[in-house]
């Protein structure tokens, strides 16, 4: 039987106001995997009201005790890792090993932020005046609106929820309509661990109705959004109208640089994993390979041979390398970009087609695709494709490689393969991305360092690590004067009056 899932508002699992539902089909075979309650703007109003009420007490709940609750959540996630991973694969298509990694990332983030319940450091500083004490502390902000994408359906919600909650905020979350079940499982675990009613709320539905209602709600103090650049910029305009604090994580056009002294076998492994993991549907996916012309032919040959041998199929099959893309519109968009690349004159060296053989015809499969001889000005070298497509761009020097890497609108992730430590440090100094790897691909961020990008990738905030707490808290500077007199900082003493 197909399972039906409801929304979570004020500590109760409820249907949407209109009683409507929507279904989600397995992108590998078209089978219905679950149905979900469809939320409305009125449901958002109820969820925000519940979160606002809960904030009054949750903000005063001692942070170390909030951490203990997160530790309990992390342990439950560990116990159910395999179940949640298999459900994720059925709902969005990534291969089972990657789905396990997605859940593991949520586990790691939960444990990490649980520990911050006993830290969340502020500062103490000397005062310029006698008998005066200075310090700064973090304070929660209020109701947090969280809007998450479908490509990392448990990891990304955890990046946002865990720092929000450990800091004493409450949450109203809208998961992507392609992947609500992972967020539901996360909320179920919180409920089982004993989270007070109203602290976390989940409303499912379209961005146009539920997402807009969260972003525009006067009682939502901040919004954390991950999604496309186009949508993110629209969110920014709407949030600015009411001065809502906003964190944006948007697109990427990430580059792997391969120098003439690189270990080509290692580079091949890194590129294939970065370009075709999650079927290329990662904001950190390697959709550009900037390769020194002297090794271009060798690298292209290695990549084409390996990519051609990758097996497509249902992600629950452990022998499958590449699963389906998330939807038919996404598949059509990828195919359109492949046609654009061919029209622009790029040389297709492997893949390039929608997979239509046998059982693959039931799903949304695209062959791993590699273009060679790509110019930096071609659209496939500048625009985010979000599919299993990468492009080899030849260069003649490290300077040119860095210039090409920086020469796009985005700035999330980049990597360089080289045996020369001087080149590696040049890349660290001159490549303008939020993340940089040396002798590794463009994916694989760990949760205890900041995650985010520059330029059109984001608006300056970072997720993960202690940097996430800067977004989900307000700084308060506190001055304690125990002199018994009125002391005035920066004011010259009045003649004849002791200071």
Residue 180's CB: how many other CB atoms inside 10 A? 27
Q: Among candidates 273, 34, 235, which has minimal Cα distance to 149? A: 235
Strand partners, 477: 136
Q: CA 300, CA 349: separation in Å to the nearest integer? A: 8
Catalytic-residue membership of 383: no
N- to C-terminal Cα separation, the chain: 80
Q: Give me the sign of the Cα torsion angle 140, 145, 147, 153.
A: positive
In 3-state terms the chain splits into helix, strand, coil percentages (rounded to 5) of 40, 20, 40
Catalytic residue, chosen from 91, 98, 249, 463, is 249
Q: CA 233, CA 293: separation in Å to the nearest integer? A: 37
Catalytic residue, chosen from 87, 90, 116, 283, is 283
Residue 437's CB: how many other CB atoms inside 10 A? 22
Cβ neighbours of residue 209 under 8 Å, at least 6 residues apart?
Answer: 39, 40, 41
Pairing of strands 21-25, 143-147: unpaired
Q: Where are the beta strands (DSSP E) in 321-395?
A: 347-350, 369-372, 389-395
Structure tokens, 346: 């790029």
Residue 472's CB: how many other CB atoms inside 10 A? 28
Structure tokens, 75: 């342990």
278 φ/ψ sector (left φ>0, alpha ψ -120 to 50, else beta): left
What would the DSSP string read from start to end of 410-431? EESEEEEE-S-HHHHHHHHHH-
Catalytic-residue membership of 283: yes
- Residues belonging to the active site: 249, 283
């Amino acid at each position: 039987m197909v399972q039906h899932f409801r929304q979570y508002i004020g500590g109760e699992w409820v249907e949407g106001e209109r009683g409507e539902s929507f279904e989600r089909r397995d992108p590998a075979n078209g089978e219905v995997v679950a149905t979900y309650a469809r939320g409305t703007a009125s449901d958002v109003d109820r969820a925000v009201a519940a979160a606002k009420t809960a904030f009054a007490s949750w903000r005063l709940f001692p942070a170390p005790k909030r951490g203990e609750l997160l530790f309990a959540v992390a342990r439950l996630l560990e116990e159910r890792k395999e179940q949640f991973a298999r459900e994720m694969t059925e709902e969005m298509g990534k291969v089972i090993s990657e789905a396990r990694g997605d859940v593991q990332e949520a586990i790691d983030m939960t444990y990490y932020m649980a520990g911050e319940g006993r830290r969340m450091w502020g500062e103490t500083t000397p005062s310029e005046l006698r008998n005066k004490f200075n310090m700064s502390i973090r304070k929660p902000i209020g109701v947090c609106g969280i809007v998450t994408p479908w490509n990392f359906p448990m990891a990304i919600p955890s990046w946002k929820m865990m720092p929000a909650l450990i800091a004493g905020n409450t949450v109203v979350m809208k998961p992507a309509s392609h992947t609500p079940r992972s967020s539901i499982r996360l909320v179920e675990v919180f409920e089982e661990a004993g989270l007070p009613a109203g602290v976390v709320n989940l409303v499912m539905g379209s961005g146009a109705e539920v997402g807009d209602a969260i972003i525009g709600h006067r009682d939502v103090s901040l919004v954390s959004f991950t999604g496309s650049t186009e949508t993110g910029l629209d969110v920014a305009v709407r949030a600015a109208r009411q001065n809502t604090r906003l964190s944006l994580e948007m697109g990427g056009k990430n580059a792997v640089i391969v120098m003439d002294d690189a270990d080509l076998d290692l580079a091949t492994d890194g590129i294939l994993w970065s370009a075709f993991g999650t079927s290329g549907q990662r904001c950190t996916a390697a959709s550009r390979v900037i390769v020194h012309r002297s090794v271009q032919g060798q690298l292209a040959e290695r990549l084409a041979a390996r990519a051609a041998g990758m097996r497509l199929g249902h992600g629950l099959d452990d022998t499958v390398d590449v699963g389906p893309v998330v939807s038919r519109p996404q598949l059509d968009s990828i195919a359109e970009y492949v046609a654009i690349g061919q029209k622009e004159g790029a040389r297709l060296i492997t893949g390039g087609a929608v997979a239509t053989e046998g059982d693959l015809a039931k799903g949304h499969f695209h062959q791993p695709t590699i273009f060679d001889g790509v110019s930096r000005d071609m659209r496939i070298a500048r625009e985010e494709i979000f599919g299993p497509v990468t492009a080899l761009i030849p260069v003649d020097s490290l300077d040119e490689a860095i210039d090409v890497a920086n020469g796009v609108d985005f700035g999330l992730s980049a990597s360089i393969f080289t045996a020369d430590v001087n080149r590696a440090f040049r890349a660290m100094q001159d490549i303008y991305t939020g993340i940089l790897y040396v002798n590794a691909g463009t994916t694989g961020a760990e949760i205890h360092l900041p995650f985010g990008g520059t330029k059109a990738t984001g608006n300056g905030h970072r997720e993960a690590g202690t940097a996430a707490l800067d977004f989900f808290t307000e700084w308060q500077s506190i001055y304690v004067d125990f002199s018994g007199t009125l002391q005035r900082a920066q004011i010259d003493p009045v003649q004849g009056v002791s200071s």
